[in-house]
Structure 1
Amino acid sequence: MTAVLCRHFGLRHIEIAEDIASDTFLKASEHWAINGIPENPAAWLYTVARNKAKDYFKHISVFETKIRHGLKPDNHKWENDFEFHEEIISDSQLAMIFAVCNPANNPESQIALALQILCGFSVEEIANAFLTKTETVKKRLQRARNNLRNDDFQVETLTGPEIRSRSDTVLKTLYLLFNEGYFSKSNHQFIRKELCSEAVRLILILTENPLTNTSQTNALLALMCFQSSRIEARINEKGEAVLFDEQDQNRWDKSLIEKGNYYLINATNGNEISKYHLEAGIAYWHTTDDKNKWRNILQLYNQLILIEYSPITALNRTFAFSKVYGQERAISEAEQLHLMEHNQYHGLLGYLYTPSNIPKAIEYYEQAVKLTTSETEKQTLNRKIERLKRKDDGQYR
């Protein structure tokens, strides 16, 4: 809705478009609570948004003071072509995705802005995604919005150069969005399905346009499909996290696995191998029962860590290493990482020490509890600690 409105207001006045969108949903919450949800909720929302935009433009004093001098008459003939039909919505969303990824901003600011405008992230959620302070994010967003307003980018049909200059940031943004949903660090939720769905929805828009339907796009969509297939199995009926080895595979969504296979095949129509290809490959092997799957997963992690090192990738690689070579050998691999500030590091060492040294495993798990901000993860770790204490036969006191 904001994207379509910005076709007519221009990015310089994006806050006006956002306000109209917010007012539209506020009216819906009030009207629907009394009269019930309409037969076509989307059409109802777009009709209200269009009428609010008309009312706004008819308000002469606001038009004179805030709009007229900022509009380019040739580019904003809203009275004749202000519509919310399917093609306009799709084109506007695609263009808006690329508009907010403005090269005038550094990559971190581009991603923060996109997460806020496209995905509705709060400042806190963005800070969690970047593992930084909320005040830092607020300042970053303020600067990024100023650059966005000063940009001459039009929320209309995209060109090849515009796409090529911003594609990497767009894909990284959607990748971060999905990860925040799949393993949420905010709002005390372990999984936020709506964020995963939103990421899939946005990347599907990219696959529907020939200019953005690239091998990287398909690889990222394949990754999201594979990961989404296991969402229902990652939480039990008590709302507790279920680790991969303990998941009921009957709860995996086979149709999403098939879609993941389809998009992964599409992603191989070229010579490019990106981090998304490798991560999609890792996710694919997780869906199989092949006896060599962990060796294949480890090989892919070995390639991934060379393309883009991150602490999480290093920890995941070490876990795969333990599945291939055993937990004893994996301990030295893990300890060489020296990631003492990461709760996953301590959680991994807790897992690796469990067969050989229960007191030490408990010690690492307790440190992981102290470092995590996820309530669900704390519950999972505490359950492990309790189980280990019962196993210890009096050694841990």
Structure 2
Amino acid sequence: MEPKDHIDNTINHLFRQESGKMVAVLIKIFGTENIELAEDVVQDALVSALETWKYRGMPDNPRAWLYRTARNKAIDIIRRKKHSKTIDFSDPERKLLTSEYTLANTMKDFWKEQHIQDDFLAMMYACCHPDISQENQITFILKSLCGFSTKEVAKSFLTAEDTISKRLYRTKEYFRKNKIRPAIPFPEEIGTRTSAVLSAIYLMFNEGYNSTHDDQLIRKDLISQAMWLCKSLLDSAHTQLPEVYALMSLMCFHTARVDSRITEQGALILLPDQNRSTWNTELIRLGGNYLNQAAFGDTLTTYHLEAAIAYQHCTASSYKATNWKEILKYYDLLLHIDNDPIVSLNRCLILLELHGPEEALEAIKEIKDHKILDKYYLYHAILGEIHERLIQLNTAVEHYQQAIQLTQSKPEQNCLQQKIARILN
């Protein structure tokens, strides 16, 4: 018999990867008006796995065992509720579930591999419906498609479980009232709809890569889930789009550097000081492959350009050897696509390395929307760095102190405190 810890870890990993697919299939069976019912069946299947595998050991195919258990539980529910109004059996896809002659085979059809993948993809698009706020989109994706508990989702957003429960309730109510039917968009609208899905995935990734609220700077659970969701899009012929490959490339490049960004004690290590020998060369190679695949067609998105910037950082032999001129070109293209003040601010960091603090300071002064930037910790952190290089130390300290007030990340606060201590000492 296998150790209990190994079984628990295997189940947790399996549940993270498969729960969303199971929920998606069960929602197709029960309808979006019964999302909680679908989630309950998945939870029951997990509990059954924990109880059974602990005594009998792991089955040869744990995934198939889990799916079969969920399918059998769904059959039991269909039999109990086929005369109630809980489930809409008038739907053409569900009519055959009401007859014992066709119930078992019809249910097996729902759980065919290709159907599972398509249903999961359709549910991703449903979660990112344009009328659902982005905050609620990510909350719902984490809970229903990534297998996070309400407590885990609350931790990700550093908010109360009650708040998360209310978000989930509002989202489910929206599905019920509007009778949202999960579906893969038609080819003519898939590009627009995919944009919303990618935006949600990238926000999730960024919260994992540079957590805004957690004592930990890096949340590997969020990073892995974001990459898994993006890979799910690439696994379907419907969504093998240039921008999806570009985002996957970008996340590979960033993730390759994760272990070099913090010390064993959890302190932040800035890019110039990172040990490049610890960077994951396999992820960098994969990122390059995805970036090449993103080049087909005439699509150029912010993901393409951000991935190209990340590629330059990942392939430079040292910080000093970075091709700042090439990176500056990409930032100029980014601003041409989207004149975002945050992009303009990040561009000033490149000017700082390429042309020095005077030009970087002038560029910052030219950025519009300073009211927005003034509330952003990185704005003051960059100004602190610029003034420090100009030997305007009192001003540098003031900006570093403002930056500390504007970030809730302990590692970032500690890093800024060290910069102040360096100046004062």
Q: TM-score, normalized by length of structure 1? A: 0.84
Deviations 1:89-146 (A, max 9, x none): 3222112111222245466765664455434473574589xxxx99998776555433
The equivalent residue for 1:75 is 93
Matched ranges for 1:46-195 at <5 A: 46-60=67-81, 64-65=83-84, 67-68=86-87, 70-76=88-94, 77=97, 79-83=104-108, 84=111, 86-105=113-132, 110=137, 113-114=140-141, 116-119=143-146, 120=148, 122=153, 125=156, 142-151=169-178, 154-155=181-182, 159-161=186-188, 163-195=190-222
The equivalent residue for 1:377 is 412
The equivalent residue for 2:225 is 198
What is the root-mean-square deviation in Å for CA atoms of aligned residues?
3.1
Separation in structure 1 between the aligned mates of residue 360 and residue 184 of structure 2, nearest angstrom: 51
Separation in structure 2 between the aligned mates of residue 334 and residue 273 of structure 1, nearest angstrom: 26
292 and 193 in structure 1: CA distance in 2 versus 1, 3 angstrom threshold:
closer
Separation in structure 2 between the aligned mates of residue 19 and residue 282 of structure 1, nearest angstrom: 44
Q: Which moved more, 1:119-128 or 1:290-299?
A: 119-128
Shift of 1:385: 2.4
Task: Select which of 368, 371, 395 maps to 2:403.
Answer: 368
Shift of 1:88: 3.4
Shift of 1:31: 6.2
Separation in structure 1 between the aligned mates of residue 341 and residue 410 of structure 2, nearest angstrom: 22
Matched ranges for 1:1-397 at <5 A: 1-26=22-47, 28=49, 40-60=61-81, 64-65=83-84, 67-68=86-87, 70-76=88-94, 77=97, 79-83=104-108, 84=111, 86-105=113-132, 110=137, 113-114=140-141, 116-119=143-146, 120=148, 122=153, 125=156, 142-151=169-178, 154-155=181-182, 159-161=186-188, 163-289=190-316, 291=321, 293-337=323-367, 338=370, 339-355=373-389, 356-390=391-425
**3-state secondary structure, aligned to 1:122:** helix
Separation in structure 1 between the aligned mates of residue 157 and residue 340 of structure 2, nearest angstrom: 18
239 and 108 in structure 1: CA distance in 2 versus 1, 3 angstrom threshold:
closer
The equivalent residue for 1:394 is none
91 and 362 in structure 1: CA distance in 2 versus 1, 3 angstrom threshold:
same
352 and 82 in structure 1: CA distance in 2 versus 1, 3 angstrom threshold:
farther
The equivalent residue for 2:19 is none
Answer yes or no: is the 8 Å Cα contact 2:24–2:119 preserved in 1: yes
Which structure 2 segments of 5+ residues have no match?
1-21, 98-102
Separation in structure 1 between the aligned mates of residue 39 and residue 164 of structure 2, nearest angstrom: 19
Separation in structure 2 between the aligned mates of residue 388 and residue 45 of structure 1, nearest angstrom: 58
Separation in structure 2 between the aligned mates of residue 115 and residue 314 of structure 1, nearest angstrom: 31
Separation in structure 1 between the aligned mates of residue 53 and residue 398 of structure 2, nearest angstrom: 52
135 and 194 in structure 1: CA distance in 2 versus 1, 3 angstrom threshold:
closer
State percent identity of aligned pairs. 36
Answer yes or no: is the 8 Å Cα contact 1:110–1:169 preserved in 2: no
Separation in structure 2 between the aligned mates of residue 37 and residue 352 of structure 1, nearest angstrom: 58
Shift of 1:357: 2.5
Shift of 1:153: 5.0
Answer yes or no: is the 8 Å Cα contact 1:203–1:217 preserved in 2: yes
Answer yes or no: is the 8 Å Cα contact 2:130–2:196 preserved in 1: no
Answer yes or no: is the 8 Å Cα contact 2:327–2:350 preserved in 1: yes
Q: Which moved more, 1:328-337 or 1:228-237?
A: 328-337
**What amino acid maps onto 2:401 in structure 1?**
E
Shift of 1:305: 2.4
Q: TM-score, normalized by length of structure 2? A: 0.79
Q: Which moved more, 1:251-260 or 1:25-34?
A: 25-34
The equivalent residue for 1:395 is none
Q: Which moved more, 1:142-151 or 1:88-97?
A: 142-151
Separation in structure 2 between the aligned mates of residue 319 and residue 29 of structure 1, nearest angstrom: 51
Answer yes or no: is the 8 Å Cα contact 1:14–1:149 preserved in 2: no
Separation in structure 2 between the aligned mates of residue 186 and residue 34 of structure 1, nearest angstrom: 40
Shift of 1:15: 2.0
Separation in structure 2 between the aligned mates of residue 305 and residue 28 of structure 1, nearest angstrom: 51
**Paired residue total:** 383
Which structure 1 segments of 5+ residues have no match?
391-397
